[in-house]
Amino acid sequence: MSTIEIDPVFSVALRAALVEHVVQAAVRERRHRVRVGLGAFLGLGLAAGGVAAAGNLLPLPGADVASVLAAPLTVTRTGPATVELGVAPEGATHIALDLTCLTAGSFTFDDGARVDCSGSDAGERVSSYTTPLAPGQHATSIRAGEGDEWRLTATYVHLQSTAWAVNAKGDTYGVENGHGTPDLVAVEATNGSTGYAYATDLAGAEGPTFTSPADALAWQAAHQGTSASIPVYEADGVTVVGEFVIGDRAAASPSAHS
């Protein structure tokens, strides 16, 4: 299957590998979400690393909603290429992209987010992505290996975050967006249930903050095979529907939110 190599919000292992870039990458990539196989131009910011939502829950509170401002353009290319989109219409804030890999390979967006496709994904797996529109920008690029074929549908959109919802306890819930993180963050539990995990639990399970790549790798080696398990709730923040595991699921043990 295809994988999206973009800063997983709560992945210790990837953060260790990318610790030198974490300050810049965390801000950028938590604003831009890659969604696989959910259809083009929905603008519903689903995060990597297991933070997601099932189709029957869309749109989630706080989700980014895209208003399409131009007719989508679809092109098929082989290898690296730049796609001209024309002059951006008034009000455009982002470019919505729908990438289909037509062969196996790695396909990289302008800002470094990457889609890896196997042979079985060719022509089947669609990765949707929304990237901010820079002043004067009128094109987007895909980096790919020579001979790697892909199809891209792109259009200008206006992206706006919806409001988070608030439960009876006064906790906000929904998805992370440009305004920050709600008290309860939408996740998918290990049993397939969708619900919410407390942001404080997720932050605590993420692990320590590292000051150097050497520190990060040493911590990772010392904690190989370990994991953290946190409860997943309904929107009320009380009713438990499953658990969310960070790290090695086989090593996970239950925990509860106090």
Rounded to whole angstroms, the Cα distance separating 74 from 96 reads 12
- List the domain range (segments joined by +) for residue 242: 165-251
> Please, where are the H alpha helices in the chain?
12-17, 22-29, 199-206, 213-222
Asked if 80 and 143 count as a contact pair (C-beta separation under 8 A), the reply is yes
- Going residue by residue through the chain, which has 258 residues, state the pLDDT in tens, using 9 for 90 and above: 443 333 333 233 323 322 222 222 222 333 333 333 322 222 222 222 233 333 333 478 998 888 999 999 999 999 999 999 999 999 999 999 999 999 999 999 998 889 999 999 999 888 988 899 999 999 999 999 999 999 999 999 998 889 999 999 999 999 888 888 999 999 888 898 989 999 998 886 655 555 555 655 565 566 555 567 899 999 999 999 999 887 654 444 444 444
Asked if 110 and 141 count as a contact pair (C-beta separation under 8 A), the reply is yes
Tell me, yes or no, whether 9 and 75 share the same domain.
Answer: yes
258 assigned to some structural domain: no
257 assigned to some structural domain: no
Domain ends where: 161, 179, 214? 161
Tell me, yes or no, whether 148 and 195 share the same domain.
Answer: no
Tell me, yes or no, whether 93 and 150 share the same domain.
Answer: yes
**What pLDDT, on a 0 to 100 scale, did the predictor assign at position 126?**
87
Domain ends where: 161, 186, 202? 161
73 assigned to some structural domain: yes
Count other Cβ atoms within 10 Å, centred on residue 218: 13
**What pLDDT, on a 0 to 100 scale, did the predictor assign at position 176?**
87
How many domains does the chain divide into? 2
